[in-house]
Chain A
């Protein structure tokens, strides 16, 4: 047996460095993060790096297989698929990002308030949220877009609205259990007001489920935007979007299956990487997980990895 040293682990003074250390130590999260950044940068830089105009029609080049001229082939109108994927990402990622931001910003405070206030406030808020949840989300989004008119902004609004109850419910249930914790009681007897308690104690402890939900919503928003655009209610042709292009590609499944590759791989990779990033973030934001990491590093036996004592 090799000598095991119990030297105290290196102490760093900043929580940020510990958290980022934890995140960087998670290989899946790290790779996903790099992938996601590459995709985002590529999409943002589309005007600079796209080989063709994404909407330029060239019927003589239609349905070409991937080759030197068109790396991912061309679609029915002879438009370059790679260029469309790059430009489409701008729409898809932007929609997903804004949907996540908007639904989090609205849903989380509603959940906090409902869970903490309890009683009538809770009932009123959550019944409204339940009413939203009774509709199939896509149908509700379609209805909203139908009323407000088809445009990508209205799609974002509709998708965000549909996701608000999801956040509200998750945050409410976390709040209900966290508010009973002794440290919340302790904060009260030391004179903290409820806003302070909600922000420093409740929200800070509810971050894990919120982060996980964010990744789920982000992934879902990309797919939903695709579905709505497919119905002709979102991104208007000829402007590109991953989902719309994917759905268009279905028509040529037998003649030009390569049309699927670009948009579907783009969706797959970005959704998957967001999920892994969320996983890594969740661990990085939990100080109890740092302990495991430190201990594991100190003993040099990460493989044995004791599970962190959640109950503590």
Chain B
């Protein structure tokens, strides 16, 4: 396989605090290939967003990021200073956020925000930038783009605003787009439109996407590969098909069971008992062990091994999970 667009090895993000530093991301390794959509799944506080911010170089000064390797498109991100990172941000990698209501400046017209970005990052003239902005809005599916350029964020609906955010993010044709819960605040039909849009943009431009979500359904439909994170660590990583067909980690299993299914009406949802652990002084052993339905004696004693289950499917788990429990 060719060199991945983004290669992360041994990423660790620490936020120093009062009683002890919080290890938000611990020993995380993954790759994103060109044109690939990687899903990152996990509950709140599992380090999904911190992973994104670490890659973008936006954790400092609150926290400290270390990594054995962190390479993006030939750049060594671990060695770049803030000025160099700033040149990458927006041009090579961009990010969109959960809340489309607040991710656009309310007092500037969306045209102004788009055009400014284009003129400043790409050095376009006012007229070129305006033409480009209209085209971008058209690409993300905003009709009457020319007319809507002078409208303000509050004149758009939530889904439309998210489209504008996407237009801003892809304005400089980044190689990597990080979407942090980009559809969580939208209703389901809009959610589907946005994921369709993302897929189409990927196909058109060969852009890679890191799709952060806690919605397994959306991830299943959109992503090529999925990383499941728990307590700042990677629990399982697999092709989407393989993961949903046969998950190999107790946490992934738990997550799948807690999704309501239309074909099992009377089934009670199984919540995962307990709460996520505190990220301060977490033991080296599997952090999910206390809540795991499949835990074995080794789980609490030794760090979980990295196990391979066929091509591109790894899980950090001691237990051999039973084959099929009605999860497909």
Q: Which residues of A contact B (CB under 8 A)?
A: 11, 13-15, 181-183, 185-193, 196, 200-201, 204-205, 207, 285-288, 290-291, 309, 312
Contact = CB atoms under 8 A, between A and B. Distances in A.
A13 B107 contact: no
B103 A186 contact: yes
Find the residue from B105, B108, B117 having the highest chain A CB count within 10 A: B105
B89 A190 contact: yes
Given A182-B102, A287-B152, A189 B109 contact: no
Contacts of B150: 11, 13-15
B154 A291 contact: yes
B212 interface: no
Interface in B108-153: 108-109, 116-117, 120-121, 147, 150, 152-153
Interface residues of B, number: 36
A205 B106 CA distance: 8
Contacts of A191: 86-91, 121
B199 interface: no
Interface stretch (B37-45, B92-100, B228-236, B281-289): B92-100
A287 B168 contact: no
Given A11-B150, A15-B150, A312-B154, A189 B90 contact: yes
Given A182-B99, A186-B97, A288-B106, 14 more contacts: A15-B109, A183-B103, A188-B58, A189-B89, A189-B90, A190-B89, A190-B121, A191-B87, A191-B89, A200-B108, A204-B108, A205-B107, A287-B154, A312-B101
11 contacts: A13-B150, A183-B103, A183-B106, A185-B103, A186-B96, A189-B95, A201-B105, A285-B107, A287-B154, A291-B154, A291-B155
B107 A204 contact: yes
Give the interface SS of chain B, mostly helix, strand, loop or mixed: mixed
A210 B30 CA distance: 48
A288 B95 contact: no
B211 to A, nearest CB: 15
Contacts of B87: 191
A268 to B, nearest CB: 33
Contacts of A204: 105, 107-108
Contacts of A182: 97, 99, 102-103
A11 B106 contact: no
A287 B90 contact: no
A11 B109 CA distance: 13
Given A287-B152, A291-B154, A193 B105 contact: no
B104 interface: yes
A181 B108 CA distance: 14
Contacts of B108: 200, 204, 287
B169 interface: yes
- Most chain B beta carbons < 10 A, residue from A188, A189, A286, A291: A189
A263 to B, nearest CB: 39
B252 interface: no
B109 A190 contact: no
Given A182-B102, A191-B86, A191-B91, A309 B154 contact: yes
B237 interface: no
Nearest to B109: A15
Interface of B: 56, 58, 86-91, 94-97, 99, 101-109, 116-117, 120-121, 147, 150, 152-155, 165, 168-169, 178
Contact of A188 (B88, B89, B102, B154): B89
Contacts of A285: 107
A200 B114 CA distance: 13
Contacts of B147: 11
Given A186-B97, A188-B58, A309-B154, A286 B168 contact: no
Contact of A183 (B90, B102, B121): B102
Nearest to A184: B105
B142 to A, nearest CB: 16
Given A188-B58, A191-B89, A286 B103 contact: no
Given A183-B105, A185-B97, A288-B106, A190 B117 contact: yes
Contacts of A186: 95-97, 103-104, 165, 168
B104 A189 contact: no
A287 B107 contact: yes
Contacts of A181: 102
Complex A-B, nearest 7 residue pairs according to Cβ-Cβ distance, in ascending order: A191-B90, A190-B90, A191-B89, A189-B95, A182-B102, A287-B152, A182-B103
Contact of A287 (B89, B96, B109, B117): B109
Contacts of A291: 152, 154-155
Contacts of A14: 150
Most buried by B among A15, A191, A196, A200: A191
B94 A190 contact: yes
Q: Give the residue among A185, A190, A196, A201 with the most B Cβ atoms within 10 A.
A: A190
A200 B109 CA distance: 12
A196 B121 CA distance: 12
A183 B87 CA distance: 19
A200 B94 contact: no
Contacts of B97: 182, 185-186
